[in-house]
Amino acid sequence: MADGWPARLCSDECARAHRNRKARERRAPDPRDCKHCGETFQPNLDARYCSGGCRVAAHRARRQDGAEGAARSRKPLGNRWESQG
């Protein structure tokens, strides 16, 4: 089987084992620090957070910081929002 082609597997169990092996191969070589809590973790290649909970907490923190500035620059106008600008 050539690399890059979808694998044809005999059962769901073989497919699960294949996916798990591929996931292990995609791991980054060095541990990283979580961008939200600072905990060291072994990431996949593009992970920035140690868990889904930290990813959500970081998003909520960014959204909260941005909402304060957005609330000052917009005012309600009937059923729509209009910029004060």
What is the per-residue pLDDT for 2?
46
pLDDT tens, 48-60?
Answer: 999 999 999 999 9
Buried b / exposed e over 30-64, threshold 16 CB at 10 Å, is eeeebebeeeeeebeeebebbeeebbeebeeeeee
pLDDT tens, 2-46?
Answer: 455 566 789 889 888 888 887 777 766 789 999 999 999 988 778
pLDDT band at residue 77 using 50, 70 and 90 as cut-offs: low
Q: How far is CA 70 from CA 25, 67, 74, in A?
A: 43, 5, 6
Rounded Cα gap, residues 68 and 61, in angstroms:
11
What is the per-residue pLDDT for 28?
66
Domain boundaries, the chain: 32-73
Does position 1 have pLDDT exceeding 50, yes or no?
no
